[in-house]
Structure 1
């Protein structure tokens, strides 16, 4: 049996605000907010905890995200970043939506004319918006 990725933890100057940004981007909900010091988000839970645990044990699951208060400033390019993929609209439409939520384009040394766009969340954490998987946008 292998281990499972259950959640990803990010240091944050404002955990609640950053959690809300990522909820809007990913369609997640806030699971728990410990007075703004730690905020956990994830997919809208459709099943009881016992069923979610059984699903996690069966195979890979969509991880939740935890934002933890930290006063340490972000210094350099992340060594780990997220790759997110639109599933119901074109890449350019999703890019405009995410920019309107507060993301910004950023340069980490990527080449021109890539199939993805490098962005940063409101606290400067880089992530990529990959090709769209929407019907008619991506074919096998």
Structure 2
């Protein structure tokens, strides 16, 4: 009986030692450094959630788009959805993704930029066709947008 008790304690201690890691919190879904699948995706989308075009700036941009492009839109295209966009020329960009290669983008006029609030460092406003986008300067990822359709509809 004296030999049985220490053996039982040793087996119990060994069993507990092997089950403790299995019961521990994995943190990063078991992939180390608290980074599970999609961690790069979530880091990439953090700026999209935090940086937006302010409401006042959005209104200024809508006014600019509606006054500038409504006057230059042919009557047949003005009634289309999306408005003033020829067939086959629908937008080729999406919020949360970089501008595709081959898309031409242009800076906004200084007179318009002077009326807008400052954007965070590393971001800029650009015009793509008849849309105004807030993009990351480095990656050209589209963070937010004001489209002609939203401007004409108001």
* TM-score normalised by length of structure 2: 0.25
Higher fraction of strand: 1
* TM-score normalised by length of structure 1: 0.27
